[in-house]
């Protein structure tokens, strides 16, 4: 480990066993078990990214726009909120200033804000906020399945029709995946649908992904059988995570997504050495340890699909790991 990595390891919060699953962390494990370990167990810090931070600002605008009366929810008014939401985020997370530390004239920041405004504006071609009154925004949901597996996450928007039918909506600042990868994208929404079903006893009528990067809307109407299938897949995934946790066997799984991984300096695939495994491996692992996520993958769609560029990491809009922690 180089000196900066050692410092980062020392500065990270205390390591701990995974206690819950969120869509983002499920995606991490499927992408690369070692990445999951670095994020969830070692809690290694990551550098903020422009794409993810822009996603956070855009999400904040789309959430807070609904504070205004319906008639005032216009595109110019939403665009005008972008600089203010960036300022608020910066006050909460001053470390984000480093994104533009080498931009004394503010040209790159101006372009970045303009890109965020364009994403916000595109939303108005896809949905009409003057005709929507969300039941919930940025809704934190958490449930414990009968097996003991705890699931949690944030749902961007929940709409409830006068008939009681529920629609879950998620905004993505990236582009829509190609059709062959849409199952992976929908998996996150099915995860939320399962949590809400378990919490409220009602299967959401519709799941909706709004892609601001490409101007697409992807929808899916889930059934109970779908959600039972998702539950089985999550249990298989959690089983694989538990076995890796017990054994300390977190294999790197290189892919094109390594280009956006902050942990290459400590990754054996790039000549690095991971920090010592901070948990005591072993005694609990009664069965042979799975050689990585393969067992879970047999059951799960690959998430999130192929990289579409650096923005792939920011499609969720959550900067780094702030939105879903485990």
At residue 254, φ and ψ (nearest 5 deg) are -65, 145
Pick out residues in 221-280 that bind ligand SF4 (CB under 6 A). Answer: 252-254, 257-258, 261, 263-264, 267, 269-270
Nearer to ligand SF4, 65 or 261 (CB): 261
Q: How far is the CB of 105 from ligand SF4 (least distance, A)?
A: 34
Q: Residues 6 or more apart from 299 whose CB is under 8 A from it?
A: 232, 233, 236, 237
Smallest distance from the beta carbon of 70 to ligand SF4, in angstroms? 44
Q: Mark residues 7-26: x for contact with ligand SF4 by CB under 6 A, - for none.
A: --------------------
Structure token digits, residue 175: 């582009």
Strands annotated E in 50-189: 136-144, 150-160, 166-172
CB of 29 to ligand SF4, least distance (A): 11
Provide the minimum distance between the beta carbon of 23 and ligand SF4 in the complex, in angstroms, as a whole number.
18
Find the distance separating the first CA and the last CA of the chain, reported in whole Å.
25
Paired tokens of 191: 């995860």
Size of the site for ligand SF4 (CB under 6 A): 14
- Complex with ligand SF4: residue 182 or 255, whichever CB lies closer: 255
Q: Could you count the other beta carbons within 10 Å of the beta carbon of residue 146?
A: 8
230 vs 190: CA distance, rounded Å: 7
Binding mask 24-63 for ligand SF4 (x = CB under 6 A): --------x-xx----------------------------
| Residue from 182, 194, 204, 199 nearest 230 by CA | 194
Shortest spacing between CB 40 and ligand SF4, in angstroms: 13
32 vs 210, beta carbon nearer ligand SF4: 32
Least distance in angstroms from the C-beta of 5 to ligand SF4: 13
Compare residues 34 and 78 and give the one whose CB is closer to ligand SF4: 34
Measure the CA–CA gap between 146 and 6, rounded to whole angstroms: 40
| Cβ nearer to ligand SF4, comparing 140 with 270 | 270
Between CA 87 and CA 89 the distance in angstroms is: 5
Distance, in Å, from the CA atom of 57 to the CA atom of 111, rounded to the nearest integer, reads 14
Sign of the alpha-carbon torsion through 220, 119, 63, 87: positive
CB of 275 to ligand SF4, least distance (A): 12
Contacts with ligand SF4, residue ranges (CB under 6 A): 32, 34-35, 252-254, 257-258, 261, 263-264, 267, 269-270
């Amino acid at each position: 480990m180089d000196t900066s990595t050692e410092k980062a390891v020392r500065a990270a919060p205390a390591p701990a066993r995974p206690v819950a699953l969120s869509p983002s962390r499920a995606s991490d494990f499927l992408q690369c078990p070692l990445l999951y370990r670095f994020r969830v167990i070692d809690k290694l810090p990551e550098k903020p990214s422009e794409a993810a931070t822009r996603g956070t600002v855009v999400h904040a605008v789309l959430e807070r726009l609904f504070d205004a009366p319906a008639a005032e929810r216009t595109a110019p008014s939403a665009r005008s909120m972008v600089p203010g939401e960036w300022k608020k985020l910066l006050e909460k997370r001053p470390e984000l200033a480093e994104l533009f530390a080498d931009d004394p004239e503010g040209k790159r920041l101006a372009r970045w804000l303009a890109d965020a405004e364009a994403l916000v504006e595109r939303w108005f071609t896809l949905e009409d906020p003057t005709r929507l009154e969300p039941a919930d925004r940025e809704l934190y949901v958490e449930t414990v399945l009968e097996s003991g597996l705890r699931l949690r996450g944030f749902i961007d928007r929940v709409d409830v029709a006068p008939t009681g039918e529920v629609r879950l909506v998620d905004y993505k600042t990236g582009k829509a995946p190609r059709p062959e990868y849409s199952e992976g994208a929908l998996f996150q929404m099915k995860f939320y649908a399962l949590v809400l079903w378990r919490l409220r006893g009602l299967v959401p009528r519709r799941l909706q992904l709004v892609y601001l990067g490409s101007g697409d809307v992807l929808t899916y109407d889930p059934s109970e059988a779908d959600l039972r299938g998702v539950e089985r897949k999550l249990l298989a995934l959690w089983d694989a995570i538990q076995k890796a946790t017990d054994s300390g066997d977190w294999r790197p799984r290189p892919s094109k997504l390594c280009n956006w991984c902050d942990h290459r300096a400590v990754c054996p695939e790039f000549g690095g050495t991971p920090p010592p495994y901070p948990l005591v491996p072993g005694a609990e692992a009664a069965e042979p340890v799975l050689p990585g996520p393969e067992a879970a993958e047999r059951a799960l769609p690959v998430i999130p699909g192929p990289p579409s560029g650096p923005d792939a990491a920011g499609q969720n809009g959550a900067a780094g790991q702030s939105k879903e922690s485990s």
